[in-house]
Chains A and B, each alone.
Chain A
Amino acid sequence: MELNLNFIYGHLPYWLFIILMLSGLFIVVSRGNLIKKIVGLNIFQTSVFMFYISIGKMKGGTAPILLDKAANNSEVIYSNPLPHVLILTAIVVGIATTALGLALIIKIREEYNTVEEDDIQEMDEKDLKAYNKKNVLEING
């Protein structure tokens, strides 16, 4: 594998999409606020889409909408339509899952009165301790 300029130039778009994706991942992992996590997940998702679309791109190509109806005009280059179709489906499924996640956040806030991860964990641990103590008392008594 030789690392010449052509190779680097040809792979730079992929690397940029990967860096974008990593920033999304970082937000998901490192931030405690649940809404921010969803935003990070969205960034992650969109950069995966970009990566996928970039595989179908052809240099000098145009959008896969036929210019002359007769098709098979070899002079026009069209980019690969298949990744576009896949990603179109994925975007819609993505918004569905995002909506579900946001609804869950509203529900969590209703139950815990917070949307911060560490607060929720703290409350859960407190609950668990109280529950265990009760159980121990019942067993002993």
Chain B
Amino acid sequence: MMALTLNHLFAVIMLSGAFSLVSAMLFVVMDAVDVAFTEAAVGAGVSTVLMLATMALTVRIQKDTKKPILFPLIVVCLVGVLLIYGTLDMPNFGAFDSPAQLHLGSKYLSITYKDMGIPNVVTGILASYRGYDTLGETVVVLTAGLGVILLLSSLKGRKDKE
């Protein structure tokens, strides 16, 4: 919420990093330790550094603009109402008999160790059953990296500017 009103981008970026850390804690509470790990490293670490670098290369202070606020508010409220309406049919938080728990999850829990010999089920699934998907993910990261390099390679050096 504070990110809305602050004009100093440094503070906004730092708050977003703090938000990432808090969300990592929430992931731990929800038993997703691997996700919490990744979020703390990637969300709070890498993305904060990237944003700070961008800020250093561009501007530090947001221009004070008086944009109309009513229309965004209406859109956001509409989306919110629709989403909350969508959750009304969902099973309770932490329920044992929700459709998500009944089928594949328990199956993977019982076969992963037999197949892979890795006690961490998430790692087992990620690296083997979903190995191709993880490969595709690295392709996505490679493409993004190439894109960043292509975009930034044509930048004039800082010396030229001065």
Contacts and interface: CB of A to CB of B under 8 A. Distances in A.
A31 B67 contact: yes
Given A10-B92, A82-B125, A85-B130, A42 B43 contact: yes
B149 to A, nearest CB: 9
B116 to A, nearest CB: 11
Please report whether the interface of chain A is mostly helix, strand, loop or mixed according to DSSP: helix
A64 B121 contact: yes
Interface residues of B, number: 87
A53 to B, nearest CB: 5
Please report whether the interface of chain B is mostly helix, strand, loop or mixed according to DSSP: helix
A62 B29 CA distance: 9
Nearest to A118: B65
Interface of B: 1, 3-4, 9, 12-13, 16, 19-20, 23, 26-27, 30-35, 38-39, 42-43, 46-47, 50-51, 53-55, 57-59, 62-63, 65, 67, 69, 72-73, 75-77, 79-80, 83-84, 87-88, 90-96, 98, 100-101, 104-105, 108-110, 112-114, 119-122, 125-126, 130, 133-134, 137, 140-141, 143-145, 147-148, 151-152, 155-156
Interface of A: 1, 6-7, 9-15, 18-19, 21-23, 25-27, 29-33, 35-36, 38-40, 42-43, 46-47, 49-50, 53-66, 69, 71-72, 78-85, 87-89, 91-93, 95-100, 102-107, 109-110, 114-116, 118-119
